[in-house]
């Protein structure tokens, strides 16, 4: 009895331990990103984000002049410590807890004397967030020689654009897919299976191959660069998965519930709105999260259908990608921008999360 209990406890500990490890492994990169987003550009380039954690490190305590007549090839003695030049450059332990490091070369160098001490990087700044949110400032010299400061674009316009793209691009496919899923699950009509198989088959079609043909059609319809275009595109690309997912859920609703409704004289539409929709909230919500995250983070589709010739409809991902500058000089801003763009998906996820956990089971019971 006792050993059985113990076994159970060990098993639990093991499972929880593994889960904890996985959680940490998944979270660490995000943590690093967060830390980097509040560090200076030069700090990011010169040391890792983990140096902000207190650790034992070598700290310079004093400085010595370099010995005269030293050469690269022969041994050098500094305060009783003898080593080659290259060893001194790499750092030589003196044996009494100190370290000598040769900084610079034979002409302009000096010796750093270092002690092992507790250190932690503590140089934090909100500058990155400021530049991302408010826009960078540039100094422009006008033709008449005067200089003026120009404020670069901030995120607000593209943030609104992203919302404008994402919300309808999430709602429209869910609506259509819910109707379709109901039809496939509960309405009898010829060709139902074939149609359903076609929808499922569309799951494996990569959206990339459809980009140019759709772009051509859009150009002919004069739709390109409009929000309607990208809503339709995301709806189309999202529909197969949505239909499939919702079908699996809706078809598991017990037949009895629907049959009693039929007997009471309810039409398909009434059943759909009164019964099916309320019952499938978990599935709808979990698909909404999928679709929302996908559209919010989408870069490719927006780039093709929105981005080429009209700057005022740029979405967040495009704006952030452009933020690094023509030659990638400002990549340190990406960390801050990433966190800002993360806010909305986090809000959506946490507000729909309780459905999400339930909804993950959607379709897992019956295929």
Partner 1 sequence: MSSKKRVVVFALLAALVLVMVACAPKATPTPEPVAEPEAEFMCPSDWEMLTPELEAACMGEYDGMVVTMTGPFTDEDEVKFNESVAEFEEWTGIDIQYTGTKEFETIITAAVQGGDAPDIADFPQPGLLLNFVKSGDVVDLTDVMNQDWLKKNYKQAWLDMAQMEGIQAGVWARYNGKSQVWYPQPAFDDAGYEVPETWDEMLALSDQIVADGDTPWCIGIESGAATGWPATDWMEEIMLRTTSLENYDNWSFPADPADRLPFTSPEVKNAAQVMSDLWLHEGYVYGGTAAIADTFFGDAPLPMFDDPPKCWLHKQGNFITSFFPEGTVAGEDYDFFYLPPIDEEYGKPYLIAGDIYAMFDDRPEVRAVMDFFSRGESLRTWLGSGGALSPHNDAELSWYGDDIERGIAGLVNDADSVRFDGSDLMPGAVGSGSFWKGMTDYFSGTVDLDTALSEIDAAWPSD
Binding site for partner 1 (CB under 8 A): 41-42, 45, 72, 85, 89, 102-109, 136, 138-143, 145, 150, 152, 211-212, 215-216, 218-220, 224-225, 303-304, 307-311, 314, 318, 321-330
| d(C-alpha 246, C-alpha 286), whole Å | 10
Q: How far is the CB of 157 from partner 1 (least distance, A)?
A: 13
Nearer to partner 1, 13 or 329 (CB): 329
* Contact present, 272 and 284 (Cβ < 8 Å): no
Q: How far is the CB of 317 from partner 1 (least distance, A)?
A: 11
Q: How far is the CB of 181 from partner 1 (least distance, A)?
A: 33
Nearer to partner 1, 151 or 267 (CB): 151
Nearer to partner 1, 136 or 268 (CB): 136
| d(C-alpha 81, C-alpha 77), whole Å | 5
DSSP result, 159-200? HHHHHHHHHHHHHHHHHHHHHHHHHHHH---TTHHHHHHHHH
Residue 294 burial by Cβ neighbours in a 10 Å radius (0-12, 13-18, 19+): middle
| Exposure b/e, 175-214, CB count within 10 A at least 16 = b | ebbbbbbbbbbbeeeeeeeeebeebeeeeeeebeeebeeb
Residues 6+ positions from 270 with CB-CB distance below 8 Å: 261
For the chain, how far is it from start to end, CA to CA, in angstroms?
Answer: 41
* Contact present, 14 and 100 (Cβ < 8 Å): no
Q: How far is the CB of 242 from partner 1 (least distance, A)?
A: 26
Nearer to partner 1, 45 or 123 (CB): 45
* Contact present, 184 and 243 (Cβ < 8 Å): yes
- CA-wise closest residue to 341 among 303, 297, 307, 278: 297
Nearer to partner 1, 122 or 309 (CB): 309
Q: How far is the CB of 226 from partner 1 (least distance, A)?
A: 12
Nearer to partner 1, 57 or 109 (CB): 109
Q: How far is the CB of 163 from partner 1 (least distance, A)?
A: 20
Tokens in use for 291? 């679709």
Q: How far is the CB of 306 from partner 1 (least distance, A)?
A: 10
Nearer to partner 1, 234 or 319 (CB): 319
Q: How far is the CB of 49 from partner 1 (least distance, A)?
A: 16
| d(C-alpha 115, C-alpha 281), whole Å | 62
Nearer to partner 1, 91 or 322 (CB): 322
């Amino acid at each position: 009895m006792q050993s059985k209990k113990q076994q159970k406890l060990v098993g639990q500990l093991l499972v929880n331990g593994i889960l904890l490890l996985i959680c940490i492994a998944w979270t660490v990169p995000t943590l690093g990103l967060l830390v980097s987003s509040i560090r200076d550009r030069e700090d990011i380039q010169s040391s890792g984000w983990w140096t902000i954690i207190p650790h034992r490190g070598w700290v310079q305590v004093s400085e010595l002049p370099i010995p005269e007549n030293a050469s690269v090839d022969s041994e050098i003695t500094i305060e009783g410590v003898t080593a080659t030049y290259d060893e001194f450059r790499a750092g030589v332990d003196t044996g009494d807890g100190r370290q000598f490091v040769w900084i610079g070369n034979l002409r302009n160098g000096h010796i750093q004397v270092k002690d092992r001490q507790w250190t932690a990087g503590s140089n934090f700044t909100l500058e990155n967030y400021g530049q991302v949110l408010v826009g960078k400032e540039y100094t422009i010299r006008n033709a008449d020689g005067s200089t003026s400061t120009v404020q670069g674009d901030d995120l607000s316009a593209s943030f609104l654009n992203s919302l404008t793209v994402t919300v309808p691009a999430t709602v429209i496919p869910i609506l259509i897919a819910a109707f379709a899923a109901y039809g496939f699950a509960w309405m009898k009509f010829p060709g139902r299976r074939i149609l359903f198989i076609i929808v499922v088959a569309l799951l494996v079609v990569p959206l990339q191959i459809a980009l140019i043909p759709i772009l051509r059609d859009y150009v002919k319809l004069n739709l390109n660069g409009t929000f309607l275009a990208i809503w339709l595109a995301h709806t189309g690309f999202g529909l197969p998965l949505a239909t499939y997912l919702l079908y699996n859920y809706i078809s598991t609703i017990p037949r009895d519930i629907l049959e009693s409704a039929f007997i009471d004289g309810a039409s398909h539409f009434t059943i759909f709105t009164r019964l099916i929709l309320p019952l499938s909230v978990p599935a709808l919500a979990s698909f909404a999260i999928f679709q929302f995250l996908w559209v919010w983070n989408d870069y490719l589709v927006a780039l093709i259908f929105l981005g080429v010739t009209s700057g005022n409809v740029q979405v967040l991902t495009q704006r952030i990608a452009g933020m690094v500058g023509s030659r990638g000089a400002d990549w340190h801003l990406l960390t801050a921008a990433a966190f800002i763009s993360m806010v909305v998906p986090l809000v959506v996820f946490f507000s729909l999360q309780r459905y999400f956990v339930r909804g993950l089971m959607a379709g897992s019971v019956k295929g």
